Amino acid sequence: MSVANGRALLATPGPTNIPDRVLQAMMRPAEELNTAAMIALTDGLLGDLKRLFRTEAQTYIYAANGHGGWEAALTNVLSRGDKVLVLSSGRFAMGWGEMAGFMGADVEVLSGSWRAAVDPAAVEARLRRDPDHEIKAVLVVQIDTASGVVNDIQAIRKAIDAAGHPALYMVDGVASVACMPFEMDAWGIDVAMSASQKGLMTSPGLAFVAASDKAHRAHERATMKTLYWDWTSRRSPLHYMKHCGTPPEHLMFGLRAAFDMIFEEGLEAIWSRHALLAGATHAAVSKWAEGQALSFNIVEPSQRAASVTPVLLQGYEPDALAEYTRAVCGVTLGSGIGDLTGKAFRLAHMGHVNAPMVLGAISSVEMALQALQVPHGSGGAAAAIAHLSQGASQDRATL
Ligand SMILES: *Cc1c(COP(=O)(O)O)cnc(C)c1O
């Protein structure tokens, strides 16, 4: 007997649940691409991206997924043979680094753990051993969606400054922008990138880059440039050039609605909502872990991400658990990827999520643990409820 019928719930860390308002905004005819309305739409989105990245820097929109955003960031500032330092803490900075290597950069990985955040002291030590400043860029992710870690972007900036190193600081905010604080200017980020389908609640297919003046100076010397990604041509006053061709109109209509929802709720309120829902998830996992079969991937509580929680499963098949929640409850969990393949499931609490969605996902996992007889501490869902009822209040309009 399945109880899966009803609204299906995606608890995957991308793509995430798309609000009805965003879907409805996309249900409209195409438009001639240079109308005043289309031009205003582009300009409005570029301006609102500055609000999201918290920057005065120039922003760019690409018809691409997050991988495209990675390529956009790299190609505009690097030349073949440039040395790039990748700060590893899971899968995604490594993926960005692999892309840089494919494009002809000389990639060095500062090895880290899959179970902990990047150590700023290790970054400082490595940069101090580069007196000739061969390293041109430092790549890091704020939240690594595979390991579930959150890196301290401000502390890593301080480490780069303490070493007196001029490398460009490049940060992936795909799984963190509009989920937790991201302060491009205050934290001295030179190139920030993100994508539409995680905290930004829109269909996959749009990538975003913001680039500082320092990044634009590197851009002038860079030789990896290709026309589609090129910042210079995209700064043209011609609307068509801002997209290097036809704008991805319907994705932009959807994104407009998503941005409206974000600014109506307020970024700070969104960060609080994510922190509270993440805390509820962590309360449930802490209970389950008492049975010794489940555990957090990220050991140190303060390093656990606000948008996704990977849960390790020992002696049991995570895929069987995910199959149960999907077929019986209508909840799709994220699977373990990279080092966690076959060892973990991931509970996302990212983007368009509220209390019943997160409690529903947690309760479905608990149902599966019971049905599949996986040893676990009971009361995970109750612990999540207790956490929410302590943290939420009626003046918090979003709950
Ligand atoms: C999802 C993700 C990406 C890649 O985005 P795609 O749209 O799948 O290419 C990059 N970085 C992080 C941190 C992500 O979570």
Residue 204 CA, closest ligand 1 atom number: 7
- Of the residues 263, 298, 330, the one at which a domain ends: 263
CATH code where residue 281 lies? 3.90.1150.10
Give the pocket of ligand 1 (CB within 6 Å): 14, 65-67, 92, 141, 145, 172, 174-175, 195, 204
Strand ranges across the sheet with 9-11: 9-11, 331-335, 344-348, 308-313, 294-296
CATH number, residue 82: 3.40.640.10
CB 127 within 8 A of CB 160: yes
The predicted structure's pLDDT at residue 399: 45
Question: Which atom in ligand 1 lies closest to the alpha carbon of residue 141?
Answer: 13
346 is in an annotated binding site: yes
Indicate if 75 and 137 belong to the same structural domain.
yes
161 with 281, same domain: the answer is no
CA–centroid distance, residue 85 to ligand 1 (Å): 19
Regarding whether 331 and 199 lie in a shared domain, the answer is no
User: Which ligand 1 atom is nearest residue 176's CA?
Assistant: 13
Q: Same domain for 59 and 208? A: yes
Domain boundary among 245, 263, 281: 263
Sign of CA dihedral 64, 67, 69, 75: negative
Query: Do 257 and 273 share a domain, yes or no?
Result: no
398 part of a folded domain = no
- Would you tell me how many other CB atoms lie within 10 Å of the CB of residue 382? 14
Query: Which residue ranges of the chain lie beneath pLDDT 50?
Result: 399
What pLDDT was estimated at residue 393?
82
Task: Give the number of the atom of ligand 1 that is nearest the alpha carbon of residue 68.
Answer: 9
Would 23 be classed as within a structural domain? Answer: no
pLDDT score recorded for residue 1: 87
Tokens 């991805």 found at: 248
The reply to whether 243 and 277 lie within a common domain is no
- The DSSP code sequence of 187-209 is TT-SEEEEETTSTT-S-S-EEEE
What's the angle, vertex CA 107, arms to CA 106 and CA 112, rounded to 5? 165
Q: Which of 145, 308, 349 to mutate to test the pocket of ligand 1 (most atoms within 8 A of CB)?
A: 145
Task: State whether 298 and 149 are in the same domain.
Answer: no
The domain in which residue 157 lies consists of 31-263
One domain, residues 255 and 293:
no
Decide the pairing of beta strands 344-348 and 308-313.
antiparallel
4 in Cβ contact with 330 (< 8 Å): yes
Strands 331-335 and 344-348: antiparallel
Q: What is the CA(324)–ligand 1 centre distance, in A?
A: 26
Write down the number of H helices and E strands in the chain. Answer: 14, 14
Residues 87 and 216 in one domain: yes
Q: Could you count the other beta carbons within 10 Å of the beta carbon of residue 258?
A: 24
Last residue of a domain, one of 233, 263, 293: 263
Q: Tell me how far the alpha carbon of residue 141 lies from the centroid of ligand 1, in angstroms.
A: 10
Whether 220 is in a domain gets the answer: yes
Determine the Cα–Cα distance for residues 153 and 182; give it in Å rounded to an integer.
Answer: 9
Q: How many domains does the chain have?
A: 2
CA of 174 to the centre of ligand 1 (A): 6
| Shared-domain flag, residues 291 and 236 | no
Is residue 181 domain-shared with residue 310, that is, in the same domain? Answer: no
Q: Is residue 168 part of a domain?
A: yes
Residue whose Cα lies nearest atom 5 of ligand 1: it is 66
Q: Is residue 232 part of a domain?
A: yes
Q: Is there a domain that residue 195 lies in?
A: yes
Distance 279 CA to ligand 1 centre (A): 23
In a domain, residue 246? The reply is: yes
Centre of ligand 1 from the C-alpha of residue 205, in Å: 11
pLDDT in tens, 29-49: 999 999 999 999 999 999 999
Is residue 245 in some structural domain?
yes
Of 149, 151, 172, 206, which is best to mutate to test ligand 1, by the most ligand atoms within 8 angstroms of its C-beta? Answer: 172
291 & 379 share domain: yes
- 14 CA: nearest ligand 1 atom: 1
Contact 269, 384 (CB under 8 A): no
